[in-house]
Amino acid sequence: MHSPTHTLRRRACLLALVVLPLLASAQSQPPIRIIVGAAPGGSTDTLAREIAPEMGRLLGRTVLIENRAGAGGNLAADAVAKAAPDGNTLLLSFTSHTINATLFPKLPFDPVADFAPLTMVATTPSVLVAHPSLPVSNVKELIAYAKKRPGQLNFAIGGTGSSLHLAGEAFKMQAGVFIVNIPYRSTAPAITDVVGGNVPLMFAAVGNARQLIATGKLKALGVTSPKRLPQLPDVPAIAETLPGFESAAWFGLFGPAGLAPDVVKRLSDAARASVRSDAMRQRVEADGGTVVGNDPAEFAAFVKADVPRWAKLVRYSGATVD
């Protein structure tokens, strides 16, 4: 008979024969790259970096973030659209993914057909803010003020064709007012000019404007969510004045078209579990947003419907980007 020690050693050797090849296989796999079409430090980049570690743990893989900012997210999207459909190259994109279908006369990819939607990560509303010197205190007063002064008020636009830009277009269209757009390259200088009193109005992300509102540097007139936000409980929803008004940015994870169904499921399951973590929920809710984590079919249906939804506003605005 074998001694207990000999039996334990034999079992350990058998276990090593099974586990070590699996570990070697995992370590030999290339890292998964999540390409982000925005600069480091922004909302899209931050969300990608929140989900990457947990996705990596669940998949047993290294997950890296690669920033390819430019062209409203198109550079990153094009790289993923042309990547091999092996699950090693993913895209963390945002609302511009569907807006760009109309905003750009020609794209090197199809934002619907060339991607495999995995899950929507989160949605975030915005807030209509004004310089404190503007003599209005709510949306109703702003509409009345603007109607008496067509073309005399300005919106600071933090990026032509962005969800914040089109929130302003939706507001003007529904309220029937003429407010002139002042475009900026990004949100930061737009907010700076509104705080400085150079431009009276803008739509801003809640996370960017919340502290400025709290310190009185900006005046909040309304939020773009259907109802008031817990983070800004005293700020009415614009829908309270303009029924049905709603605008939000979204962030989602894609792979290239052609991913095998089992790869889609594996990546989506890991991403959805990461999205629902307490850390992610707290991060998103701090900015007035909501974590989503829907399944690939639901996200695919949303993306397909989102293109024509934004197209109406893009055409109304007359905005184009070469």
> Which pLDDT belongs to residue 96?
93
Does the domain at 125-240 match CATH 3.40.190.10? Answer given as: yes
- Say how far apart CA 317 and CA 178 lie, in whole Å: 11
At residue 10, the pLDDT reads: 58
The pLDDT, as a whole number, for residue 94 is 94
35 with 79: CB under 8 angstroms? yes
User: 156-185 burial, b for 16+ CB within 10 Å, e for fewer?
Assistant: bbbbbbbbbbbbbbbbbebbebebebbebe
**Residue 89 pLDDT exceeds 60:** yes
Would you state the pLDDT for residue 317?
87
Q: Report pTM.
A: 0.83
pLDDT for the residue numbered 286 = 85
- Asked if the model's pLDDT at residue 11 lies above 80, the reply is no
CB proximity list for 255: less than 8 A, separation 6 or greater? 80, 85, 87, 89, 90, 91, 115, 116, 118, 263, 264, 267
Instruction: Give buried/exposed letters for 228-250 (b at 16+ CB in 10 A, else e).
Output: bbebbeebbbbbbbbeebbbbbb
17-123+249-317 shares its CATH topology with 125-240: yes
Average pLDDT over residues 195-213: 94
Is it the case that residue 14 has pLDDT exceeding 80? no
Q: How far is CA 128 from the centre of its chain?
A: 18
Which band of pLDDT confidence, cut at 50, 70 and 90, is reported for residue 186?
confident
Per-residue pLDDT of 24-79, as tens digits, reads 444 568 999 999 998 888 888 989 999 999 999 999 999 999 999 888 899 999 99
Residue 288: what pLDDT? Answer: 86
| Per-residue pLDDT reduced to its tens digit, 36-49 | 998 888 888 989 99
Residue found under tokens 């039996």: 7
Q: Is 245 helix (H, G, I), strand (E, B) or coil?
A: coil
User: The domain 17-123+249-317: what is its CATH number?
Assistant: 3.40.190.150
Q: Which residue from 100, 116, 92, 115 is spatially nearest to 43, judged by alpha carbons?
A: 92
What backbone torsions phi and psi does residue 18 show, to the nearest 5 degrees?
A: -85, -45
Percent of the chain exceeding pLDDT 70 equals: 91
| Cα–Cα distance measured from residue 114 to residue 97, given in angstroms and rounded to the nearest whole number | 12
Query: Residue 121: pLDDT above 60?
Result: yes
Alpha-carbon gap, residue 223 to 231, rounded angstroms: 11
Of 207, 293, 199, nearest to 252 (Cα)? 293
Each residue's pLDDT tens digit, 291-307: 999 999 999 999 999 99
Domain ranges of the chain: 17-123+249-317, 125-240
pLDDT grade, residue 9 (50/70/90)?
Answer: low
> What is the mean predicted confidence (pLDDT) over 133-156?
98
Exposure string of 81-111, with b = 16+ CB inside 10 Å and e = fewer, is: bebeeebbbbbbbbbbbbbbbbbbeebebeb
Residue 185, pLDDT score:
81
Give me the mean pLDDT over the 113-141 stretch: 97
